[in-house]
Every structure is written in structure tokens, then in C-alpha cells.
Amino acid sequence: MFNAKSLARQGIGAASAEGLSGHSSFYLYRTADTLAQVLATGYFNDARSRLKKGDVIDVVFGVGGTPAYARLMAEDVPSSGNVVVAAQTVAAGLRAVAFQHTQVAAVDTVDVPGLSNVAVVVASLDTDPADDNVAVSASIGDQAGAPAAGSALVKMWRSADGVDVTPVAAIAFGQTVNVVAFGTP
């Protein structure tokens, strides 16, 4: 269910609450709802007075479960009737998804929410490196079983002996990894 208090307009100088005439406004929105619920026609009806056609909403959805990210655009904001938003793609046919993953092994196969095929994936540690976790990397694999389509391999690395900088597979886990993936929905 839409929560107006969770929709925050991003400031651009001294712009009014309605935004700059002729320019799109950018909003952040955070919700426990699913992406399907957020994309449902009429979901943003209670924000009608704040939104206009072409406004962009960066939404973190699934909070409380497995949060993920999507960029939406207001496609229709009629004075009455339903507000219509649509997920935006990065390039023709591609979508960007950002989420956090808690590493459980040296190599984790991670399902990428909202993507049926992963074209590019990047990962970074959410904490500072230490001997037990000096780096993280990610791979799309072949998207045909190693790993399955819509998944990525996230790998955790450690220092071999605390002195040698050559990374070897990590043996301590539980670290949070930030993942950004691009692919087809």
C-alpha cells in the first residue's frame, strides 16, 4: 500500500515542491511492497498532487525481505483516474538492479531479482577490507546453468597469510556485499 511519507523529492537548489517548470523531478521511495505492487496502475494515486508526467522515482522495494531497486517514470498523471508508472531500462531492453547480499560461502550463486538474464554484474564489500575478506568479485558465468539464467556468481576473497596480497578463496563469511547487475527483465 502506498505510503506518502515514504516518498521524498530530491532537492535541486531552491526549486519549489512542484519542481522546476519543464523539468522532471526526482523522488526516492522505500517500501516493503513488491515491485509488482508498486507498478500496479493507481498505486501512486495519493501522490497525484506531487507528481507530474516524466517525473522519476527511484524505489527500493521488498524492504523487510530481500530489498531490490528499480527506477520508475510517471507515464501518466491525470487530474482524475489512475496514475501510471513504468519501470525504466538502462538501454534498449536492459534493466539495472541493485541489492545487498550476505555472503555464505567462498562462491555464492545469487538470484538477481527482476532479471531473467544477467549481462553485467559488479560487486563491492559493504565494509572495509580485512585479512579475512580483502575483496569480492562477481561473474555472470554462462547464464545457462553455471549459473542459471538470471543469477550471478559472487566470490569472496581473503589474504593467503595476512602479508601476501595474492587473494585466495575466503573462509569467513557473513559479510554484506553490494551488487549491481544489468540484464533483461
Residues 97-122 pLDDT 10s: 888 899 999 999 999 988 999 988 98
H helices within the chain, ranges in order? 35-39
Q: Verify that 31 and 109 share a domain, yes or no.
A: no
pLDDT digits (tens, 9 = 90+) for 89-101: 666 678 888 888 9
pLDDT > 70? residue 180: yes
Same domain for 11 and 82, yes or no, is: yes
On whether both 79 and 100 belong to a single domain, the answer is no
| Stronger pLDDT, 134 or 11, i.e. the higher one | 134
Based on the fold, state whether residues 180 and 119 are members of the same structural domain: yes
pLDDT (mean) for 6-21: 58
What confidence category does residue 87 fall into, taking pLDDT thresholds of 50, 70 and 90? confident
Domain count for the chain: 2
Q: How far apart are CA 167 and CA 139, in angstroms?
A: 16
What is the domain extent for residue 38? 4-87
pTM of the model: 0.52
What integer pLDDT is reported at residue 14 of this predicted model? 41
What does the block give as the cell for 105?
A: 560461502
C-alpha 57/C-alpha 41 separation (Å) is 15
Extract the C-alpha cell encoding 55: 517525473
CA pair distance 47, 45, nearest whole angstrom: 5
